[in-house]
Amino acid sequence: MADDIRDITIIGGGPTGLFAAFYAGMRGSSCRIVDSLPELGGQLAALYPEKDIFDVGGFPRVLAKDLVRNLVQQAMQFRPEVSLDEQVRELVRVDGHFELKCSGGTYRTRSVVIAGGKGAFEPMPLKCPGYEEFMHAGVEYAVKDPEAFRDRRVVIVGGGDTALDFVLMLKGIASRITLVHRRDGWRAHQATVDQVEAAAAAGEIDVRTFYEVRTIEGTGRVDRVTIFDNRTDEDMVLECDVVLSCLGFKPDLGPIKEWGLDVQKNRIMVSPLMATSVPGIFAAGDIVDYEGKLDLIATGFSEAAIAVNNAVHYVDPAARVNPGHSTNMKVFKED
């Protein structure tokens, strides 16, 4: 057994899990965060640390990595235990508490808040020769540091927000950008589509609709990609340094599916209290579903507060669900 029992264990250290950890601390609960990634921040740190976010309350504009830094600072004032690089594999109930069996040990907890996002970060693969072979040797699925793309010839594949956002992010940094999409409709915000179309009209990027990738080739690293017109099957060879595949992520909860929760379409179904079908296990953020669910940081924050306050009440039925207002809390008046 790795340690002492905690009131609340949070699975996932993305924005939802971090805000949940803050809330647990504010409520005076002992708390632990477990995340399979080597750093906190979830999708913001792993996929788009250098992108600006515009729709988080109180921040007209904030870099994803700065939001993570603030969330970590806010959560850490209550010193939750943080276990990184550890996947939670099994969750079992033993004598009125839970045991989480992780890659690094077994943790005991009185309640659980699952904030596991999309689960493990499994990108949808490009189904073509060279994709696996050149992964991280010219094939990428995220932009952690735009400078790594400076003066590179980049082929971006996809038609969603991620692909189009990366086009705009790398425009002016990459020496050439070709956007490849298998049809001529986009699954992205209209404002983003407008900017990409304006850049294409100005000759700043090359857009290839009705094209798909046939092969990725190179010697040690990617040096060319063959795309084909899916209407005529005609090939086109593009010399390039990086293929940025933005086909989304395969939602796979992995071991979480085996925990006896009500899981539908890879999402955990929750009540308005963010309670799962198993008493004592709550969930919040991208991993949950209910009527009207939106996958946003803002909704994750709200769900985290609801989940944690109900977990506090579950652990100690004498504790009120309603936390009161932070403005009046003694815990913030100690300095």
Which one of 7, 35, 140, 289 is in contact with ligand FAD (CB under 6 A)?
A: 35
Which one of 8, 21, 26, 34 is in contact with ligand FAD (CB under 6 A)?
A: 34
Buried b (16+ CB within 10 A) or exposed e, 95-131: eebbbbebeeeebbbbbbbbbbbbbbbebeebebebb
Number of residues that bind ligand FAD (CB under 6 A): 38
d(CA 176, CA 243): 12
Overall residue count recorded for the chain in this entry: 335
Q: Does 240 bind ligand FAD (CB under 6 A)?
A: no
- CB nearer to ligand FAD: pick between 16 and 276: 16
**Piece in contact with ligand FAD (CB under 6 A), picked from 23-31, 70-78, 116-124, 190-198:** 116-124
- Report residue 159: phi and psi, to 5°: -135, 15
d(CA 99, CA 165): 41
258-287 positions binding ligand FAD, by CB under 6 A: 285-286
For 116, 189, 205, 315, the CA distances from 324, given in Å and listed in that order, are 27, 37, 52, 18
Antiparallel, parallel or unpaired: β 81-83 and 31-34: parallel
- CB nearer to ligand FAD: pick between 85 and 133: 85
Q: How far is the CB of 170 from ligand FAD (least distance, A)?
A: 13
The sign of the torsion formed by the CA atoms of 46, 295, 121, 15 equals positive
**Piece in contact with ligand FAD (CB under 6 A), picked from 272-280, 290-298, 305-313, 319-327:** 290-298
Q: Does 55 bind ligand FAD (CB under 6 A)?
A: yes
**What are the residues binding ligand FAD (CB under 6 A)?**
11-17, 34-37, 42-44, 47-48, 53, 55, 87-88, 115-120, 162, 165, 254-256, 285-286, 295-298, 300
